[in-house]
């Protein structure tokens, strides 16, 4: 039996060891899925605190229960920060961050450093799959030469695929198993081994002709969303000036059973994908002498939204004869979207920084984020404020930034002096509610 056939057989018989590198919002659900169907899973992460928590059966992500981690530990899962364990794995699935640097250029350091960390321990028969969102060409340009440094031939000895993650934290309608998985291989053999890896765990595997096509697929998904949100955010500003409720308009347009998809405006873009991924293509397109105007325009519109919300707050305070400087402002919801604890790229945090820079006294309330976490670029020493009538009334204004279902919206409406609503939760006009 050849290397290709032996690798495929190992996945089909579930004798393979699955190595997941990067145990965050993408890696952890994937680990739980492979563990649940009977594979031995090894989790690798450079964060020793995460490793210790997982090995103690504890979760650090709100929507993933600690009981699930404990169950995985009891059935063979182990976490480690020791990269030499890579040699034990038959599959290595890389789920590491791909942020932007301060010049809005791709920061590939996590992907490159991870690949450099695993390459001394690679051996024949393994499949390496990159899941991190990135620009077309990354797998070929960055992973391929590193994987082949140890005289392994890709497609014969070792197999290289790109299969973009599609997690949607907090969405009860989808789970890892039910979200179709796109996969592209560097060679036909790579693709076949990659299919064998993923078809065990995912209901539907969708193949494309190359790793580049798979990389571009993920970017198109997220650019489609970013551009449409940019469009509706721009429409919101126009509708507001005309005295029209954009949420009413979107709801009405959404009754058309074809040719329209509802996107709703907000205070900006958040999360690890939508605000970041479009700029991966913008950056790569420059290499080909191309200017991605739609992407950059939507980026401009979406990045202007936190300032727009703060401007609306200033207008509201001004009508009451108050300055923003010295005013006490409560930001409701600092996760990037409702019902999760994920803070990455949250526009709420940008709003908080704008308010602080203008001299406001800033506080926040978020049932999913009890203490403001340590972040790479944002620093607040704050804890979540209790939402009582007295506490709400003590603030000059509240900004509804993230519309968590756990908020008591009637209480907020009755107790707050001034509400700046960036999510369209309050549809009935009221003197103390400003749409933003």
Taken as a whole, the chain contains a residue count of 436
C-alpha–C-alpha distance, residues 248 and 369, integer Å:
31
- 190 is annotated as an active-site residue: no
Residues 6+ apart with CB under 8 A from 296: 282
C-alpha–C-alpha distance, residues 284 and 291, integer Å:
10
- Three-state SS at 192: helix
Task: Give first-to-last CA distance, the chain, whole Å.
Answer: 64
* Structure tokens, 134: 């990135």
Contact of 126 with 189, CB cutoff 8 Å? no
C-alpha–C-alpha distance, residues 183 and 89, integer Å:
20
C-alpha–C-alpha distance, residues 153 and 338, integer Å:
46
Contact of 231 with 260, CB cutoff 8 Å? no
Contact of 79 with 45, CB cutoff 8 Å? yes
Q: How far is CA 117 from CA 51, 81, 161, 433, in A?
A: 17, 11, 18, 53
CA nearest neighbour of 402 among 425, 429, 372 = 425
Which residue has 């210790």 as its token pair?
52
Please spell the DSSP secondary structure of 302-351, one letter per residue. HHTHHHHHHHHHHHHHHHTT--STT-EEEEE--SSSTT----TT-HHHHH
Q: Which residues are known to be catalytic?
A: 273
């Amino acid at each position: 039996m050849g290397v290709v056939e032996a690798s495929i057989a190992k996945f089909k018989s579930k004798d393979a060891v699955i190595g997941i590198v990067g145990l965050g919002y993408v890696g952890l659900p994937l680990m739980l899925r492979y563990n649940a169907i009977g594979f031995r899973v090894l989790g690798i992460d450079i964060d020793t605190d995460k490793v210790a928590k997982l090995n103690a059966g504890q979760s650090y992500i709100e929507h993933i229960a600690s009981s699930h981690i404990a169950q995985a530990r009891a059935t063979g899962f182990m976490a480690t920060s020791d990269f030499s364990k890579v040699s034990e794995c038959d599959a290595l699935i890389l789920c590491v961050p791909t942020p932007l640097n301060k010049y809005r250029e791709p920061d590939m350091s996590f992907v490159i450093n991870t690949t450099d960390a695993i390459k001394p321990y690679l051996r024949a028969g393994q499949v390496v799959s990159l899941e991190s969102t990135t620009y077309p060409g990354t797998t070929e340009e960055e992973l391929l030469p590193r994987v082949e440094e140890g005289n392994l031939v890709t497609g014969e000895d070792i197999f290289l695929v790109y299969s973009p993650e599609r997690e949607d934290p907090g969405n009860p309608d989808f789970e890892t198993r039910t979200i179709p998985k796109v996969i592209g291989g560097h060679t036909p053999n790579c693709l076949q081994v990659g299919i064998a890896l993923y078809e065990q765990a995912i209901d539907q595997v969708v193949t494309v002709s190359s790793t580049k096509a798979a990389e571009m697929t993920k970017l198109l998904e997220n650019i489609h969303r970013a551009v449409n949100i940019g469009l509706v955010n721009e429409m919101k500003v126009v509708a507001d000036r005309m005295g029209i409720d954009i949420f009413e308009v979107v709801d009405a347009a959404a009754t058309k059973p074809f040719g329209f998809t509802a996107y709703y405006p907000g205070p900006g873009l958040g999360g690890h994908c939508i605000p970041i991924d479009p700029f991966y293509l913008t950056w790569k397109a420059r290499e080909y002498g191309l200017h991605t105007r739609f992407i950059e325009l939507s980026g401009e519109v979406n990045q202007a939204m936190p300032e727009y919300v703060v401007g609306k707050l200033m207008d509201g305070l001004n009508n009451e004869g108050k300055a923003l400087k010295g005013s006490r402002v409560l930001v409701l919801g600092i996760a990037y979207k409702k019902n999760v604890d994920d803070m990455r790229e949250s526009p709420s945090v940008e709003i908080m920084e704008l308010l602080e820079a203008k001299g406001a006294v800033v506080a926040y309330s978020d049932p999913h984020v009890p203490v403001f976490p340590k972040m790479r670029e944002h620093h607040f020493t704050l804890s979540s404020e209790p939402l009582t009538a007295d506490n709400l009334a003590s603030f000059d204004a509240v900004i509804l930034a993230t519309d968590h279902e756990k908020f008591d919206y009637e209480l907020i409406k009755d107790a707050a002096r001034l509400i700046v609503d960036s999510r369209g939760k309050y549809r009935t006009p009221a003197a103390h509610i400003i749409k933003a």
